[in-house]
Structure 1
Amino acid sequence: MFNHFERRLWVGVMIATLLLLAITSVLASNSKDTFYLLDSQGNPVVTQAGKCVQTRQTPNLPTQLFKQCGDQGDRDGDSILDDQDVCPDNTPEEISQGVYQEGLQRGCPLESDQDGIPDYRDKCPHNTPEEISQGVDSQGCPLDTDQDGILDYKDLCPGTPIGVAVDEHGCALYEKPVDIVLAGDVTFAFNKSELTPQAQTTLDELADRIEVDFLKGVEVVGHTDNLGPEQYNQALSEKRAFIVASYLINKGLPADKVVQRGEGEKQPIATNETTVGRAKNRRVEIKIIHFKKK
């Protein structure tokens, strides 16, 4: 039997042994310099400084006294410890929709649909690859560049003028074309290409009625009767179409929306066998096409 002193000595030795086991039992963690301190039951020792100690790289056989790790911080409060946080200084707004828990962006704001706009400021956070294929706006929603109500990724006619009505494919709708016929004999002096005062007045009124903002285009076509050489008539019709088109452009119509051509004597609308018929064939036709408004 142990006497009182021997029992106390034996208990002291056992306690010292257990403490030594606790100190020397170390489990390696992911960090090459960090190991977890275990107790005699194999459970991590819990301290206010965390469950780790710093040792030299000799698992379970430290060659020097353990140095407890300091508390690992999480200064932005996103539940990702700072030493593992790629974005350790997020604002409360930035982490409001969550952060990546793993991977190369661990601790950074989620960006679910990979459109370049993080979820916390993405009004459309679940776009499909097709929806973002033509880009997104600053709020993460698919672009509608021409503001026609059809998003760019499914708009077959991007670039429609603002305020123009479109179909389900984003293509412009048009008003019924306006066709105007200017009689040659009142538009031009006989065998000439200069506009008469009456013709100028008519074209002034026409230009005033055209809504330039919704103008699709204007086509001017000159025609003649069959008197005289065909080549001469062709040149005359082209010159007259050019004169009318130029006048309209000078009145404010966009030059890129006005086209002209001459058809000579090839497209009569009446017989060339009579004076009346030939007078009808000497003409300038103007076709005006407007976009339909919303």
Structure 2
Amino acid sequence: MHLPLYTALTAALLAAGMTGAQAAGPYYDPSNAASPTKYTTDYELYRTIGCPGKQLLDAACKIMTPAAAPAPAAPAPVAAAPAAPVDSDKDGVTDDKDQCPNTPAGRKVDAKGCELDSDGDGVVDGLDKCPDTPAGRKVDTRGCELDSDGDGVVDGLDQCPNTPAGRKVDAKGCELDSDGDGVVDGLDQCPNTPAGDKVDNKGCTLLNTIVLKGVNFDNDSAKLRTDAFPILDDAVTTMKRYPTMKVEVAGHTDSNSSDAYNLKLSDRRAKAVMDYFVSHGVDAANLTSKGYGESEPIADNKTAAGRAENRRVELRIQ
């Protein structure tokens, strides 16, 4: 018996078990709209699912793995906003311009961030206790003018800059001389000298004749002994105070030796004292010297003590 071709093919398919519902084979593509149930319903679907347009007897198609979706493009970088300028010491000048970066809080500063020094004395206003120092004056760490001798008058005004401690001074920084005799109060032992009187270094009125006690010479010589120098220096200071004062230097001896010898010795001694004065700055035009020998004793030449008094040098104010 001959079966029709359709019948024979159907029988073959039934024998192979391919007409019923089949699980998806290697050509299954669950994304294909032709297989909403994920199962095939006949041989054609089995061969063609996932391969649209395939016919029954066409060669099986090769299912391509779907291409991966392209990765999303990286977002364009967002430029960071510029950082705000920093002012670490909070003085109003940012760090990039601040040349004095650690200004104490509350201090006024210039455009460079440095503290103001309004009087230009080198001490900033925040520390300056004397804010109006005149230009050029030297100041201490507080910004106040120096008073080196501590007399209460600053150095910039002090005309007597080395006043001894404790002395009273005037507005110029110079010691007071209450009686106007030229000897400051701190040294004046005769503080109420009458006006116009000439005084010695102690501020006491000069006598017409002043004995230079302690001015001695080597024996039988006109050579001054060194212990005479301080006494002569005091006399130099007094004579310089009165630059027009005329003085005679008078030399005297005791009665030992002859009158003629003593006269010459006293004259040489008087001249030695005058020469000392001139060498220390006293105007020679104001000085003369003369020896009187033993002619004017002031004590008894019969005693050693008396003879010692008679050997003397006097200054006679002219």
TM-score scaled by structure 2?
0.41
Compare relative contact order (CA 8 Å, sep 6+) and give the higher one, 1 or 2.
Answer: 1
User: Going by fraction, where is helix more abundant, 1 or 2?
Assistant: 1
Larger radius of gyration: 2
